[in-house]
Amino acid sequence: MNFLDLIWLIPLIPLAGAAVMLFAGRRLSMAAIRVIGPGTVGLSLALSLGAVAQLAGLEKKAHEVVLYKWLPLIGADWGFLLDPLSSVMILVVTFVGFLIHVYATGYMAHEHGPHHGGYYRFFGYMNLFVFFMLTLVLANNYPLLFVGWEGVGLCSYLLIGFYFHKKSASDAANKAFIVNRIGDAGFILGMFFLWTLTGSLRFVEVNEALGSGRFAAEAGVFGLLSLTALLLFVGATGKSAQIPLFVWLPDAMEGPTPVSALIHAATMVTAGVYMCARSNALLALTPETSHIIAAVGAATAILAASIGLVQNDIKRVLAYSTVSQLGYMFVAVGVGAYWAAIFHLYTHAFFKALLFLGAGSVIHAMSGEQDMRRMGGLKDKIPVTFRTMFVASLAIAGIPPLAGFFSKDEILWQAWSSPLGSRVLWAVGWATAAMTAFYMWRLMFMTFYGEGRMDEHTRHHIHESPRSMTVPLTVLAAGSVAAGWIGMPKVFGESGFLQAFEHWLAPVFEAAARGMHGGGEAAHHDAAMEWALMGLSIGAAIGGILIARHVYLGLKEHERPSGGAIYPVLYNKWYVDEAYNALFVEGLAKGGGGAMARFDATVVDGGVNGTAWMTRLVSKISIWYDTWIVDGLVNLGAFTVRALSFPVRFFQTGFIHSYALMFLAGVLAIFGYYWWVR
């Protein structure tokens, strides 16, 4: 079977599952939904594995299938491209997505009932989400990518606001939708400028145009080329929750936990990183934009990590961790280490999905409780959840030989050694790594160690999750351990396997490697320096864990370590939401709305009312003029005629003898006149 020609089925199968669920789900049994929901994603996974295996055998690592010529003028086809980059993405999306769907069959079981359509509706939305995400990563052009981009935005709105009867959930869904639309406006403008520059929006044709040398003179100068790259990055900041558009993602925790895992681990939030990596030929020509991307990524990484230090909601800690780790990925993009960004995206999908699903298992055991201050002592009560989250916490902290260590270390090394890197970027990344280890193990110690701080009712109902939830945890734990072994640093030795991930992605980033700044590779590899930096990063991770252990191990009920003056600032998330609310909601939205209302009342309505008043005044003057001037003159003329006609009427008797007498009198008067004159 030629799987490469069937890559269009990879997104289509989840779409079919979504259609069945949303249109006929009410008539389906719970067992049928449990098969269709995860099964469609599983079939997409099987097709993906077959297609990627066949792609590996091709000399040219790319295969394109065009189903429909959509807008040929701008290069917008309904077509799919399988290359090393999209192959990584479809495997991550389908594999992790399949495990999350399996997990959800148990986690969302309470939503099934004769009068409650939440179960089939949930899986319908989830399948639809996977369809749009797979469309996004398989698209062979920017417009089709944007279709998937908007589709996942729509589905995130539906999934975040799944519990729509809760105001907090509906508000969070609205917030996510609005903030992402701001970023999407930048993406649309970026596509317009890119088409203006290259004459096409197909990835292959865009890369050929950018690599032709015709834009070499513009490289290094902030012009239209750099503006285009910057606008595309604005779109990425919305989807991937970077400064200043990161505020939606922590609130997205209002959705069910499987939604949090799907959105935050392997799909929607990584779309911005993927799009920037896909645009590597453009970024290679715009080092000034790359500097901005790296700076924004570093600032986001350390800002989100600092907020995560003091959060008490178990899912919000992980949410800010996601924002921070995405910042890491953008640092890699900004310094030209595109493969390192995708490598961290790939390893992050395993341990972050595991952490979210593990948090869901904790919440399930705690009868819905999410506040870590009311947890503790769960290590022996939910052992599978504890052991798997233990592995994931070591991985995200960057402890070797787990997956997170290799991808994080590669980004730190590139931040140090790349021509676009700097010591500042490395220092920020190193500090973020230490903070990551601290807040993750703060979570572990507050949740699983010490004395239980929950109420007695909750204490007696603590139980391990069913196998439908624990099996995906175990599989993801294995990935959190071994996923990084195909991307080891070169100081460990150079071989096809140890650097398999970098070699696999090399053809996609070939254009960037020929770019103005060399694709982020260091001019000279200093093995001793890399070993030293690696030791410092491991030390930061161990130090963060030990500090968290010292502060939080054995925490008693209602105890809270003092954080000093900085604590309220961090707890209130640097007051960013408050600032945005004052500036945009109260200021621009409400204040602007009030100003527009006043403008409407005073200017628009005033103009209308003034016109009406003037019309009434003119009409009154017209009535007066008509009454006293026009009618007055007419009446005066009539009066004059009547007055003058009165004497005439005296002579107008109507008798002939009267007229004869007057004639005779006239004749006599004439003769008298002439006689008198004579």
Greater confidence (569 vs 543) lies with 543
pLDDT value at residue 165: 85
CA distance from start to end of the chain: 144
pLDDT value at residue 361: 95
pLDDT value at residue 218: 64
pLDDT value at residue 667: 78
Greater confidence (341 vs 595) lies with 341
- Is the model's pLDDT at 518 over the cut of 50? no
Tell me the per-residue pLDDT of 97-123, one tens digit each, with 9 for 90 and over. 999 999 999 998 877 654 456 889 999
- Is the model's pLDDT at 55 over the cut of 90? yes
Weakest mean pLDDT among 183-187, 442-446, 609-613:
609-613
- Is the model's pLDDT at 519 over the cut of 90? no
pLDDT value at residue 485: 93
Q: Report whether 316 contacts 168 (CB < 8 A).
A: no
Residues 6+ apart with CB under 8 A from 403: 347, 350, 351, 395, 479, 480, 481, 482, 483, 484, 485
Tell me the per-residue pLDDT of 160-183, one tens digit each, with 9 for 90 and over. 999 888 889 999 999 999 999 999
Q: Report whether 314 contacts 443 (CB < 8 A).
A: yes
Tell me the per-residue pLDDT of 475-490, one tens digit each, with 9 for 90 and over. 999 999 999 999 988 8
pLDDT value at residue 624: 79
pLDDT value at residue 513: 66
Tell me the per-residue pLDDT of 522-560, one tens digit each, with 9 for 90 and over. 445 688 999 999 999 999 999 999 999 999 887 665 556
Neighbours of 232 (CB within 10 A): 25
Tell me the per-residue pLDDT of 379-404, one tens digit each, with 9 for 90 and over. 999 999 999 999 999 999 999 999 99
pLDDT value at residue 617: 80
Weakest mean pLDDT among 347-356, 525-534, 536-545, 594-603:
594-603
Over residues 414-430, mean pLDDT: 95
pLDDT value at residue 520: 43
pLDDT value at residue 115: 45
Closest alpha carbon to 183 in 237, 228, 144, 230: 237
Over residues 423-439, mean pLDDT: 97
Distance (Å, whole) CA 596 – CA 211? 49
CA angle 276, 277, 280 (to 5 degrees): 90
Q: Work out the percent of the chain whose per-residue pLDDT is above 70.
A: 90
Over residues 342-360, mean pLDDT: 96
Encoded amino acid at 414, one letter: Q
Neighbours of 633 (CB within 10 A): 10
Tell me the per-residue pLDDT of 301-332, one tens digit each, with 9 for 90 and over. 999 999 999 999 999 999 999 999 999 999 99
Label residue 75 by pLDDT band (50, 70, 90). Answer: confident
Greater confidence (565 vs 262) lies with 262
Closest alpha carbon to 353 in 245, 268, 436, 449: 268
Closest alpha carbon to 48 in 77, 78, 14: 14
Beta strands in 83-148 (DSSP E): 112-113, 116-117
pLDDT value at residue 594: 65
Neighbours of 463 (CB within 10 A): 11
Tell me the per-residue pLDDT of 179-228, one tens digit each, with 9 for 90 and over. 999 999 999 999 999 999 999 999 999 998 888 777 776 666 678 999 99
Greater confidence (608 vs 412) lies with 412
| pTM for the model | 0.86
Over residues 66-70, mean pLDDT: 87
pLDDT value at residue 132: 97
Query: How much is the mean pLDDT over the chain?
Result: 88
CA distances from 654 to 106, 397, 644, 659, 666 (A): 120, 129, 19, 8, 18
Distance (Å, whole) CA 272 – CA 286? 18
pLDDT value at residue 526: 80
Over residues 607-623, mean pLDDT: 79
pLDDT value at residue 194: 95
pLDDT value at residue 639: 74
Tell me the per-residue pLDDT of 577-588, one tens digit each, with 9 for 90 and over. 888 888 877 666
